Structure 1
Amino acid sequence: MSGVAGLIALAAIAATISAGTIALRLRFADRGLDQPGYRSLHERPTPHGGGLGIVAATLLCGAWAGAAPVWLIPVLVLAAVSWADDWLDLPFWLRLGVHLASAAAVVFFHGPGSPLFVALQVIVIAWSINAYNFMDGADGLAGSMSAVGFTAYAIGFAQAAQPALAGLCIAVAAASASFLLFNWHPARIFMGDVGAIPSGFLAGGLGWYGYDIGAWPLWFAPLVFAPFLFDATVTLLRRAGRGERVWHAHREHYYQRMVRGGFAHGAMCLRWLLVMLAGASLAVVMLLFLDAGGWAGAAAWSAVLVVLGHRIDRQWNRHMETEPAK
Structure 2
Amino acid sequence: MSPSETIAALIALVIAAAILSAACIRAIHPLLVRYALARPNARSSHRIPTPQGAGIAVIAASLLVAGIAVVWFASPSLTLWVLFGSTVTIATVGAIDDLRPMPVLPRLGLQALCILAILLVLPGQNQITPILPLWLERALLLVAALWFVNLTNFMDGLDWITVAEVVPVTAALALMGFASAIPLPTAFLAAALCGAMLGFAPFNKPVAKLFLGDVGSLPIGLLLAWCFLELAYAGHLAAAILLPLYYLCDATITLLRRMARREPFWIAHRSHFYQRATDNGYSVQDVVQRVFLLNIGLASLAGLSIYLPGAVSDIVVLLVGAGSVSLVLRQFGTLRNRQAG
TM-score in terms of structure 1 length = 0.91
Q: Deviation of residue 140 (structure 1)?
A: 0.3
1:12 to 4, 10, 15: 15
The residue type paired with residue 141 of structure 1 is I
CA distance in structure 2 between the partners assigned to 1:206 and 1:5 by the alignment: 21
Q: Relative to structure 2, which stretch is displaced further, 248-257 or 263-272?
A: 263-272
CA distance in structure 1 between the partners assigned to 2:138 and 2:210 by the alignment: 37
State the match for 1:219 in structure 2: 238
Deviations along 1:235-291, one digit per CA (max 9) or x if unpaired, are 00001111122221100100000111111112221121111111112212332x222
The residue type paired with residue 142 of structure 2 is V
- 1:169-318 matches, cutoff 5 A: 169-212=190-233, 214=234, 216-287=235-306, 289-292=307-310, 293-315=313-335
Q: Report the 3-state secondary structure (helix = DSSP H, G, I; strand = E; otherwise coil) of the residue aligned with 2:335.
A: helix
Q: Deviation of residue 38 (structure 1)?
A: 3.5
8 Å CA contact 2:280–2:335 kept in 1: the answer is yes
8 Å CA contact 1:103–1:205 kept in 2: the answer is no
1:90 to 83, 95, 102: 102
Q: Report the 3-state secondary structure (helix = DSSP H, G, I; strand = E; otherwise coil) of the residue aligned with 1:308.
A: helix
8 Å CA contact 1:151–1:173 kept in 2: the answer is yes
CA distance in structure 2 between the partners assigned to 1:317 and 1:107 by the alignment: 48
> CA 1:263/1:316 → structure 2, altered by over 3 Å: closer, same or farther?
closer
CA distance in structure 2 between the partners assigned to 1:307 and 1:46 by the alignment: 32
> CA 1:158/1:247 → structure 2, altered by over 3 Å: closer, same or farther?
farther
Q: Report the 3-state secondary structure (helix = DSSP H, G, I; strand = E; otherwise coil) of the residue aligned with 1:205.
A: helix
Deviations along 1:158-196, one digit per CA (max 9) or x if unpaired, are 322622221111000110111111101110100111110
State the match for 1:155 in structure 2: 175
The residue type paired with residue 42 of structure 1 is H
> CA 1:85/1:104 → structure 2, altered by over 3 Å: closer, same or farther?
same
State the match for 1:81 in structure 2: 93
8 Å CA contact 1:257–1:316 kept in 2: the answer is no
8 Å CA contact 1:48–1:191 kept in 2: the answer is yes
**Identity within the alignment, %:** 31
State the match for 2:26 in structure 1: 23
Q: Deviation of residue 156 (structure 1)?
A: 2.1
CA distance in structure 2 between the partners assigned to 1:65 and 1:295 by the alignment: 36
Give the unaligned 5+ runs of structure 2.
71-75, 125-132
8 Å CA contact 2:282–2:336 kept in 1: the answer is no
2:134 to 81, 98, 114: 114
Q: Deviation of residue 27 (structure 1)?
A: 2.1
Q: Report the 3-state secondary structure (helix = DSSP H, G, I; strand = E; otherwise coil) of the residue aligned with 1:41.
A: coil
State the match for 2:55 in structure 1: 51
Deviations along 1:46-66, one digit per CA (max 9) or x if unpaired, are 000011121111120121122
Q: Deviation of residue 24 (structure 1)?
A: 1.4
1:100 aligns with 2:112: yes
The residue type paired with residue 81 of structure 2 is P
CA distance in structure 2 between the partners assigned to 1:14 and 1:46 by the alignment: 24
Aligned length, in residue pairs: 316
Q: Deviation of residue 211 (structure 1)?
A: 1.5
1:136 aligns with 2:156: yes
1:72 aligns with 2:84: yes
8 Å CA contact 1:155–1:166 kept in 2: the answer is yes
Q: Report the 3-state secondary structure (helix = DSSP H, G, I; strand = E; otherwise coil) of the residue aligned with 1:262.
A: coil
State the match for 2:38 in structure 1: 34
Q: Deviation of residue 108 (structure 1)?
A: 1.6
CA distance in structure 2 between the partners assigned to 1:227 and 1:109 by the alignment: 30
The residue type paired with residue 324 of structure 2 is V
The residue type paired with residue 182 of structure 1 is F
Q: Deviation of residue 318 (structure 1)?
A: 6.6
Q: Report the 3-state secondary structure (helix = DSSP H, G, I; strand = E; otherwise coil) of the residue aligned with 2:34.
A: coil
Q: Deviation of residue 197 (structure 1)?
A: 0.5
CA distance in structure 1 between the partners assigned to 2:68 and 2:264 by the alignment: 42
Deviations along 1:173-230, one digit per CA (max 9) or x if unpaired, are 1101111111011101001111100110111122113222x1x411112201111111
Give the unaligned 5+ runs of structure 1.
320-326
Give the RMSD, CA atoms, in angstroms.
1.9
Q: Relative to structure 2, which stretch is displaced further, 82-91 or 278-287?
A: 278-287
